[in-house]
């Protein structure tokens, strides 16, 4: 498995990412994650839709919580044109508690903990922690990656405005 060093840091310390890097313009690799009931969910199930993927290290941290809440709020505004997914390595039980306590109902929160296919297929699994690098991806209706932001310092938030603008443009929402 490919290792990439220094793409992201944690409090300034370089980390190593596992898996092949994905880039804008390439076909989005399929993956299987699980929902709160451990039911498998595949990216391919959303074929023909614009999908915004928000990857976070752990929902139990302040920045990940903020990011997940923000995309949950935005998911309601994006109507039925865009599917929003949050993916983390948290166990589905912990994700369920988080979603219940924070009233996350506008989008799906999924776990990569069982298969780790998302992290490995997208080169986002942090070897040093076995968590996901903070990332926002947008997959177009054609199944091609049209936007990618890997946040270089995982304790910082992504550029929400850039991601949402890109998602709206791709899905033709005004």
Distance CA 74, CA 80 (A): 12
Q: SS3 sequence, 150-172?
A: ECCECCCCCCHHHHHHHHHHHHC
**What positions carry a catalytic annotation?**
64
Q: What is the dihedral of CA 134, 135, 136, 140, to 10 degrees?
A: -150
The C-alpha atoms of residue 91 and residue 121 are separated, in whole angstroms, by 19
Residue whose structure tokens are 């040093």:
128
Task: List, in order, residues 6 or more apart from 88 with CB less than 8 Å away.
Answer: 55, 56, 57, 58, 59, 64, 95, 109, 111, 112, 131, 132
Q: Give SS3 for 123.
A: coil
């Amino acid at each position: 498995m490919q290792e990439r060093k220094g793409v992201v840091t944690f409090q300034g310390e370089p980390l190593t990412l596992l898996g092949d890097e994905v880039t804008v313009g390439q076909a989005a690799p399929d993956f299987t994650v699980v929902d709160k009931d451990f039911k498998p969910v595949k990216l391919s199930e959303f074929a023909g839709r614009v999908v915004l993927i928000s990857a976070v290290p752990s929902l139990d941290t302040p920045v990940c919580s903020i990011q997940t809440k923000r995309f949950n709020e935005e998911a309601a505004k994006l109507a039925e044109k865009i599917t929003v997914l949050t993916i983390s390595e948290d166990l589905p039980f912990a994700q369920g508690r988080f979603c219940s306590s924070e009233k996350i109902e506008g989008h799906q929160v999924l776990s990569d903990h069982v298969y780790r296919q998302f992290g490995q297929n997208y080169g986002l699994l942090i070897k040093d922690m076995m968590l996901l690098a903070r990332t926002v991806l947008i997959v177009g209706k054609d199944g091609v990656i049209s936007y990618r932001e890997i946040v270089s310092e995982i304790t910082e938030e992504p550029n929400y405005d850039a991601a949402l603008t890109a998602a709206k443009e791709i899905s033709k929402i005004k």
